Amino acid sequence: MNIAVVGTGYVGLVTGTCFAETGNQVVCIDVNEDKVNRMKNGEVPIYEPGLELLFERNSRQKRLSFTTDLATGIQNADVIFLALPTPPGEDGSADLSYILGVAEELSHLITSYSVIIDKSTVPVGTADEVHKALAKNLDTNLFDVVSNPEFLREGVAVEDFLRPERVIIGTKSERAKKIMERLYKPFVRQGNPIYFMDERSAEMTKYAANSFLATKISFMNEIANLCEKVGANVDQVRIGIGSDSRIGKRFLFPGVGYGGSCFPKDVQALAKTAEVNEYDFQILNAVMDVNKRQKQVLVDKIVDYFGGDITGKTIAVWGLAFKPNTDDIREAPAIYIIEKLLALGAGVKVYDPEAMDNVKKIFGDKISFCSDQYEALIEADALAIVTEWSVFRTPSFSVIKQLLKSPVIFDGRNLYEVDFMREMGIHYESIGRSTT
C-alpha cells in the first residue's frame, strides 16, 4: 500500500519505518523542516533500539521518504496515519488542535478514497471530531476514520510493532476494516489477534490499558512505602504477589514514580474525560497523587541523611531518561529530583547513556554533565540512581567507594541487594527495603 504518516515522533517514525519494512511505500510528513532534512540525510532523530537499521535500509531502498509538504505526502496514499502530539492542557485534557488542524487541511486535499487513522492517543469521541473536520469540505464517501491506538513501549517499540501482542482497530466501516486487516496481516502471522470494535471502544481501550498499568505502579509504590514502616521487604512481597496469575509479575517494581510520554498524560486525560462526563474516578485521582509524591521520596531520603540540610553538597545522579533504552525525558522523575536538589542548594553531576543532550536543553550549565558514570562520582557526597540502565546494574563498587567522598547510595530503582551493600560497607537506601 501507499501509506502517509503525519508526525514523526516516537509513534510516527516507528510506525512509518516498520510499515516500510513489510514492503509498503511510506511517506513521513512533519512540519519541522530541520528534522525532515536530517531524516533525508539518514539521521534518526530519536534513540530507539533497532530503529536505525530499519530506517537506513528502507530509506536506501526508497520505501521510506520524508517531506514537509502535506499535499505531496498524501498524494497517492491509501491510508493516512495521524501520529500527532496531544499534549495535556492546564486542566489535564488532551489538546486535539494538531489533529483537528491536519484533518481540516486534509479536507481540502483528498481526492480519492482514503482511510484516515488516529494513531495518536486521543480521548473518547476524537474519531467523531476528526470525521466532522473532514466532512466540512469533503464528501463522506471519500474517507473513513479509524481508531488504531498504539501500544508501543519506548525502548522496545520496534519489537512491539513488528510482533504485537494484539492490534486494536476501531471502525464500523467494512471497507476500512478490510484495508486495515490487510495492512496488519504481516505482523500477526503467528496468530496474535486483531480485535475489531467501534471507534469509541478502541479509544477507551488505550486509556484504560495505560491507566491500569499506572495504577499497578502507584499501588506497588504505596506498598513499598508501607514496607519501610513495618519492616517488610518489598522485593519479597513483589515476588509473592506476582506469582498469582491473576496479578502477574509485570509493573510491580517500586521506584520513584512513572514518567514518559504516555502514562502521566493518559491518566490525566482519562480523569478529565470522567470529570467532563460527571463521573468521580477516585482511583485515577489517587494514582496521580501517589505518583507525584513518589518523585519526592528519594529527595527526602537524601535530605534526611544529611541532617535536613544539603546546601553545598554534591549529588551524583545516574540516569535521566524516564526509563532505560530511550532518550525521552518527558515527565522523567530525574528532572523533578534534580530541580528539587538544586532548589535545596545542592550541586548536581549527572550521567545518562542517551538522554544528556535533551537534559542540557533544560538545565544548561546549572548541573555538570559527565562523560561516564564514574566521572559523576568524583568529589560527590552521595550517589542517587534514578533510571535502571543495564550499565548501572553491575558497577565496580570498589571504584564507587574510592571516588565518592563517603560510600553513600540512594537507589530509586532497587538495583542492588541490601545484604551485599551491607557487606561492602556502603550506606544504602532503596525503596521499600531496609537501610544498611
Q: Could you tell me the CA-to-CA distances from 31 to 20, 37, 435 in Å, in that order?
A: 21, 11, 51
Place of cell 520505501: 63
CA angle, residues 274, 95, 333, in degrees to nearest 5:
80
Residues with Cβ within 8 Å of 277's Cβ and at least 6 positions away in sequence, in order, are: none
Hunting for cell 476524537 — which residue is that? 126
What torsion, rounded to 10 degrees, do the Cα atoms 375, 380, 385, 391 define? 20
> Measured between alpha carbons, how far is 342 from 346 in angstroms, rounded to an integer?
5
Largest CA distance in the chain: 73
SS3 245: coil
Integer CA distances (angstroms), 389 to 55, 97, 302, 354, in order:
24, 36, 21, 10
Task: Let me know: does 131 contact 145? Beta carbons within 8 Å.
Answer: yes
Cα pseudo-dihedral 353, 161, 40, 364, rounded to 10: -30
Q: Which of 28, 227, 262, 370 is catalytic?
A: 262
d(CA 150, CA 103): 19
The grid coordinates listed for 37 are 532534512
What is the secondary structure of 98-121 as a DSSP string?
A: HHHHHHHHHHHH--S-EEEEE-S-
* C-alpha–C-alpha distance, residues 32 and 279, integer Å: 39
370 is catalytic: no
User: What's the first-to-final CA gap in the chain, in angstroms?
Assistant: 60
Listed in sequence order, the residues at least 6 apart from 400 whose beta carbon sits closer than 8 Å to its beta carbon are: 374, 377, 383, 407, 409, 426
Residues facing residue 117 across a β-bridge:
81, 146
Task: Please report, as a single letter, which amino acid is at residue 56.
Answer: E
What's CA 250's distance to the chain center, in Å?
A: 16
From residue 252, give the alpha-carbon distance in Å to each of 241, 418, 420: 9, 19, 23
Catalogue the active-site residues. Answer: 262
